[in-house]
Amino acid sequence: MIPEIISHYRILSKLGAGGMGEVYLAEDLNLGRRVALKLLPAKFTQDPERVRRFEQEARTASTLSHPNILTIYEIGQADGLRFIATEFVDGVTLRQSLQRDGMSIAESLSVAIQVAGALAAAREAGIIHRDIKPENVMAPRDGIVKVLDFGLAKLKPQQNLPVDSQVPTQRKITDPGTVMGTVGYMSPEQVRGQEADTRADIFSFGMILYEMLSGKRAFNGASVADVMSAILKEDPPELGETNAKISPALEKIVRRCLEKKPERRFQTASDLGFALEALSAPSGSRLETAALPAVAENVVALAIRKRERLAWLVAAALSLGMLGFAWAYFTRQPASDARVFKTSILPPEKSSFGQIAVSPDGRHLAFTAATGGNVQLWVRALDSSEARPLAGTQGATFPFWSPDSRFIAFFADGRLKKIEFPSGSVQSLCEVLTPLAT
């Protein structure tokens, strides 16, 4: 029997139960707010393995601060019970949403972009979730998705915190220490019991995205062994067979997530989020056309190239910038105008480079970058380490400069646009079908 008050929390109602405990809606009597209180059942408090996993979840999630990751308020013990207090999310799980209403392509992309952002934040903190599934994604009424349940997460020790990186899975799945995750949403390497990195989460993410778009699980079978075999050897049916509105570009993204070999998938959740964001549009109806415009196809193709290509792009841009600056310095600048050239070119914090363009006068660099899943145009001077975003350039792709370095042109929303540099409003020039080859 659960007491009415645990520590300074008053139990209001039961929200649900899982392998690691029961979850209750509770009131924080000290702060006067509603919280979700996760309790480890009393019968498990004497089980060191259960206690360790329960505390592992709290320690892991508490290292993360991201709008799409459930916030941990407190971990404690009272009346012989161990508890974790978290923010209360008023909504349903992604599983419940799928079973109740299904999801449109626009809704699926919105959820997917937010989950990718959460996984990118986890990766930056050295965390692999290893149990991404619809039950661990909350779809609240305010539209802000939350990823939860880091009970199987692998955490690299940080700030001298003693964290066990090998936490056994639930016994109902398989023997402890062999398979990590939930069978229907594991990567091939997890099925084999091999070492898993962040690309395992991307495979699980791909299965969720497939299910949101098709209404069916990517891999099925009459038994656990059949499902495992399908994950290792089979490819799911084409998405177009169940939803003719899914574009080839979106199909390619899902297929890349579900590659059997980790090196063939997206290498980071940031890259994945960038590719998904490139498919977004102001109007949800545009996402549900039979095929996206060729401009989106080109952007996705660029976004999902291997990270090695990105290094070459940055190196090439740096070389062009150095040549452009040298030309401008020796032909246009008086000898007294000595300028400092800094050779490091890094993307803004918590973002990744997209396309890059050096101004003809060799003084500035324009580039696209995704921060928090939102792509826009950025500019930085080549003699500075600071970059700033340009307002009104959301969704920008393939930027290029005017010959006099006064304007930056780019593609967005199926149109060619320009913005005056360093300040000015965005002007729409014309509609386009595909970016110009450069």
For 194-212, what is each residue's pLDDT tens digit? 888 889 999 999 999 999 9
| Between 119 and 311, the higher pLDDT residue | 119
Of the ranges 18-22, 161-165, 286-290, which is most confident? 18-22
The residue segments making up the domain with residue 208 are 91-158+180-304
**Which are the catalytic amino acids?**
131
In the numeric block, which tokens belong to residue 358? Answer: 């050096």
268 shares its domain with 348: no
pLDDT for 350 equals: 63
- Give the total number of structural domains in the chain: 3
CATH number of the domain encompassing residue 24: 3.30.200.20
Q: Which two tokens stand for residue 313?
A: 């792009």
Residues 262, 268: Cα–Cα separation, whole Å: 11
Q: Which residue has the higher pLDDT, 393 or 243?
A: 393
Strand partners, 409: 400, 418
Residues 323 and 297 in one domain: no
Alpha-carbon distances, residue 380 vs 88, 345, 361, 410 (angstroms): 41, 10, 13, 16
Q: Which of 183, 182, 151 is nearest to 167 (CA)?
A: 151
Does residue 187 or residue 414 have the better pLDDT?
187
Q: How many CA atoms lie within 13 A of 309 on its CB side?
A: 12
Does this model's pTM top 0.85? My answer is no
Of 87, 103, 135, which one is at a domain's C-terminal end? 87
Q: Are residues 224 and 130 in the same domain?
A: yes
Q: What integer best gives the mean pLDDT of the chain?
A: 76
Short-list 268, 209, 270, 274, CA closest to 243: 209
Same structural domain for residues 335 and 422?
yes
Structural domain contains residue 186: yes
The region of weakest confidence among 10-19, 171-180, 370-379, 380-389 is 171-180
CB 27, CB 34: distance < 8 Å? yes
Give the tens place of pLDDT for each residue, 102-116: 788 989 999 999 999
Q: Within this chain, do residues 131 and 264 fall inside the same structural domain, yes or no?
A: yes
Domain identity same for 68 and 105: no
State the CATH number of the domain containing residue 386: 2.120.10.30
Residue type for position 426: V
Strands (E), 372-414: 374-381, 387-389, 397-401, 407-412
CA distances from 299 to 283, 304, 305, 321, 412 (A): 18, 9, 10, 23, 11
